[in-house]
Amino acid sequence: MSRTMRVASWNVNGLRAATRKGFLGWLETADADIVGVQEVRALPEQLAEEVRAPDGWHTTFAAAEKKGYSGVGLYSREPPDEIITSLGSPSLDREGRVQLARFRDLLVVNAYFPNGSGPNRDHSRVPYKLRFYRTLHRRLAAEMAAGKKVLVMGDFNTAPYDIDLARPKQNHKTSGFLPKERKELVRWLKSGFVDTFRMFEDEGGHYTWWSNRKGVRERNVGWRIDFALASPALAPSISTARIHADVMGSDHCPISVDIAP
């Protein structure tokens, strides 16, 4: 890598809907080399050509078997040397939640971690969510042990610490801030992954997701659940990490990191 590389991530909450709200304009002005999107909620063939294969971008998508659900996509200025969309578990893979893309000596993981809430607003999906976390972590452990450069970006659907949401006391029984969910994400951090945003900002009030309820985003009553985690080998090369809270078009906002050569 001979120049600074920018990698961005955004849960678009439906790529077709986000396109109507300006996604392509943002894509062209974000000055990114690699962009991961989550919650695509469409098969590739359901996307307009200019979204599925915009000029100047190489694209790959991993869709869920269930239509209109989940899904991730990767846009890159250069094609990846390798891309893997399976964790070796049919029950996890059928939801289209992960892409592992290798660009020379950098492994970029674009992931949409499950929400723990079930269809009845219970916690029935928490075991599935934790299994996804643990399976992906095991997949990356060998890369970490070998001293490889790894960046895991996406919607983690968990806020690890009180500082990461506006109202922690009211949400200890809410999926995304349950003790067992937080413990698992903290385990990732203790295993060596570095929260890149916290390399540059240790204050609260910085969030990446807001409820769609009226006035919530305007009052900044949010959660920080979108992350870019760097392996120890990569972290020293992270020169900037940002949350782009001013970008609209989804209930999440984009995040980005700059990787120095």
User: Which residues, listed in sequence order, are joined to residue 222 by a DSSP beta bridge?
Assistant: 210
Task: List, in order, residues 6 or more apart from 76 with CB less than 8 Å away.
Answer: 33, 34, 35, 57, 58, 59, 101, 103
C-beta of residue 7 within 8 angstroms of C-beta of residue 227: no
User: Is 155 among the catalytic positions?
Assistant: yes
Catalytic residue among 33, 122, 155, 195: 155
Tokens read off for 255: 């995040």
CA distances from 74 to 54, 83, 176, 217, 246 (A): 12, 10, 25, 27, 22
Residue with the two structure tokens 């029984």 = 173
Tokens read off for 194: 């570095």
First to last CA, the chain: 5
Structural Rg of the chain based on CA atoms: 17
CA distance 74 to 34: 7
Q: Residues with catalytic annotation?
A: 155
